[in-house]
Structure 1
Amino acid sequence: MRISAKADYAVRASIELAAVTDGAPVSAEVLASAQDVPHRFLEAILRDLRRDGIVASRRGVGGGYVLARPADRITVADVVRAVDGPLVYVRDQRPSDLDYSGSAASLLHVWVALRANVRAVLAQVTLADLAAGAVPEELRRLVDDEEAWENP
């Protein structure tokens, strides 16, 4: 599975917004600089996030972006879906839309299980968790496994 640059940048910018304690709008330029993200690319990402109700924009002097709802109600899965669509694709299709036959029929179960596991991880981590420097205990156990860091 690959996480696109667009999804990575979207999550990072969203965490920056979640870390703003006074709720003041943050400009795209400041977000881009804080996370070393190309500004023009981030502008397009922020439009996608606004369209999906993750962020809201405020115009004028002192304008910028804010989270559209509390950070503890926005998951990493929400952000990734807003910019990339479904969490897992196989040949540009959702696993549930595929149909395999013959000896490959059971492969569909593998793709659906992968999607379920990706969703299980990304849907339990909120922007508030990440802005606070924490992840849920279940994820911590996965990360603490030394094999998780290896690339066999």
Structure 2
Amino acid sequence: MTGGAERGLMPAVLRQMTVDDLPAVMEIERSTFPFDAWTEGMMRGELADQPRTRHYLVAEADGRIVGYAGLAVAADQADVQTIAVDERYRRRGIGAALLEALLAEAARRGATAVFLEVRADNAPAQAMYERFGFERIGLRRRYYHDGTDAITMVKRLDEREGRWP
């Protein structure tokens, strides 16, 4: 699976994340979320629930991991746990490819809605989510460790066709 190639952007290959990917993933995690980075133990816990309730992907380009994303699914609800792209590879369609893959997996697992939180000061991420049809449904004040608010968003999935619109 590739992302962005149709628009002339650098393609990224997406594949399931494994424990062996954690050193590269944690490097991106710490640089992307300096105040709220997950620990390696937290990420290992997420991977331990894969594929039962979790679905984690990495994006590879230029022979290295340049992004990752994770999804949690329970019954008919899914949550985007995380999406991050190495800052040197942003604005190339990699984040969108990761999100598209998470939405497809949520639909495959029978979810009818996908939820997420996004930093109120992260306008590029908010714009990407809105392009994919996510709607703002609330605000979690001082959600992040540095005091930044989180915007909660939801995307309803198309139940009739078993896919996201």
Does TM, scored on the shorter chain, surpass 0.5?
no
Between Structure 1 and Structure 2, which shows a larger proportion of strand residues? 2
Between structure 1 and structure 2, the one with the greater Rg is 1
Larger RCO: 1 or 2 (CA < 8 Å, sep 6+) = 1
